[in-house]
Amino acid sequence: MLKSYIEQRLRDKNILLMTHIVIGYPSFDASYKIIEAMVTAGVDLIELQIPFSEPIADGPVILRANQESLAAGTRVADCIAFAGKVTRTFDVPFLFMTYYNILFKYGVDRFVADSADRGIQGMIVPDLPPEEGSEYLTAMNRHSLSPVYIYTPMTSDTRMKKLAEYGRGFMYCVARKGVTGKDTDFSDTLDQYLARCRKASDLPLALGFGVKNRDDISFLTGKADIAVIGTEMIRLIDNSGVDAIIPFIRELR
Amino acid sequence: MNDRGYYGRFGGAYIPEILYATIEELTAVFEACRNDPAFWEEYKNIMSTYSCRPTPLTFAENLTAHFGGARIYIKREDLNHTGAHKANNVMGQGLLVKRMGKTRVIAETGAGQHGVATATMAARFGFDCTIYMGEVDVVRQRPNVFWMERLGAEVIPVRVGTRILKDAINEAFRDWVSNMDDTHYVLGTACGPHPFPEMVTYFQSIIGEEIKMQAMAAEGKLPNRIYACVGGGSNAMGAFHAFLDNPVDLIGVEAGGRGLESGRHASRLASKDGNIGVAQGYKTFFLQNSDGQMKETHSVAAGLDYVGVSPILSDLKERGRVRFEAATDKEVIDAMSLTIRKEGVIPALESAHAFVQAFKDAPALPKDDIIVINQSGRGDKDIFTIADAFDDPSWKAFIKTKAEEYNA
Q: Cα separation of B96 and B176, whole Å?
A: 16
pLDDT over 80 at A105, yes or no: yes
How many CB atoms neighbour CB A118 within 10 A?
Answer: 19
Q: Which of B372, B378, B313 is nearest to B352 (CA)?
A: B378
Interface confidence (ipTM) of the complex = 0.96
Residue B393 within a domain: no
Mean pLDDT of B128-133: 98
Q: How high does pLDDT run on average in chain A?
A: 96
How many CB atoms neighbour CB A165 within 10 A?
Answer: 9
Same domain, B73 and B126: no
Same domain, B337 and B235: yes
CB distance from B326 to chain A under 8 Å? no
Residue B128 within a domain: yes
Does the distance separating the beta carbons of A101 and B279 come in below 8 Å?
yes
End-to-end CA distance of chain A: 25
**What pLDDT does residue B2 have?**
43
Share of chain A above pLDDT 70, in %: 100
Same domain, B94 and B114: yes
> How far does B328 lie from chain A, in Å, by closest CA?
27
Residue B404 within a domain: no
pLDDT over 60 at B275, yes or no: yes
Helix (H) or strand (E) holding B339: helix B329-343
Mean pLDDT of B195-218: 98
Mean pLDDT of A127-135: 97
Share of chain A above pLDDT 90, in %: 93
Mean pLDDT of B61-86: 97
**What pLDDT does residue A181 have?**
80
Residue B402 within a domain: no
Same domain, B331 and B350: yes
Does the distance separating the beta carbons of A126 and B174 come in below 8 Å?
no
The domain tally of chain A equals 1
- Do residues B186 and B234 make contact, with C-beta atoms less than 8 angstroms apart? no
The CATH number of residue A126's host domain is 3.20.20.70
The domain tally of chain B equals 2
Does the distance separating the beta carbons of A75 and B279 come in below 8 Å?
no
- A24-57 pLDDT, tens digit per residue, is 999 999 999 999 999 999 999 999 999 999 999 9
Same domain, B20 and B130: yes
Band (pLDDT 50/70/90 cuts) for residue B173 is: very high
Q: Which of B307, B301, B311, B242 is nearest to B273 (CA)?
A: B307
Residue B394 within a domain: no
Q: Range of B300's domain? A: 53-80+205-388
Does the distance separating the beta carbons of B17 and A64 come in below 8 Å?
no
Same domain, B99 and B224: no
Q: Which of B91, B250, B271, B45 is nearest to B186 (CA)?
A: B91
Mean pLDDT of A191-212: 96
Same domain, B139 and B169: yes
- B11-68 pLDDT, tens digit per residue, is 999 999 999 999 999 999 999 999 999 999 999 999 999 999 999 999 999 999 999 9
Same domain, B73 and B159: no
Q: Which of B184, B200, B216 is the C-terminal boundary of a domain?
A: B200
Mean pLDDT of B362-385: 94
CB distance from B246 to chain A under 8 Å? no
CB distance from B28 to chain A under 8 Å? no
Same domain, B188 and B314: no
**What pLDDT does residue B141 have?**
85
> How far does B62 lie from chain A, in Å, by closest CA?
46
Residue in B closest to A66 by C-alpha:
B161
> How far does A57 lie from chain B, in Å, by closest CA?
7
pLDDT over 80 at B282, yes or no: yes
Q: Which of B162, B182, B200 is the C-terminal boundary of a domain?
A: B200
**What pLDDT does residue B111 have?**
81
Q: Range of A107's domain? A: 2-252
Q: Which of A65, A21, A29 is nearest to A46 (CA)?
A: A21
The CATH number of residue B238's host domain is 3.40.50.1100
Band (pLDDT 50/70/90 cuts) for residue B3 is: low
Band (pLDDT 50/70/90 cuts) for residue B172 is: very high
| pTM of the full structure | 0.96
Same domain, B108 and B230: no
DSSP B56: P
Q: How high does pLDDT run on average in chain B?
A: 96
Same domain, B106 and B241: no
How many CB atoms neighbour CB A250 within 10 A?
Answer: 11
- B322-351 pLDDT, tens digit per residue, is 999 999 999 999 999 999 999 999 999 999
**What pLDDT does residue B1 have?**
38
- A81-98 pLDDT, tens digit per residue, is 999 999 999 999 999 999
**Could you tell me how far CA B171 lies from the centroid of its own chain?**
19
Same domain, B220 and B344: yes
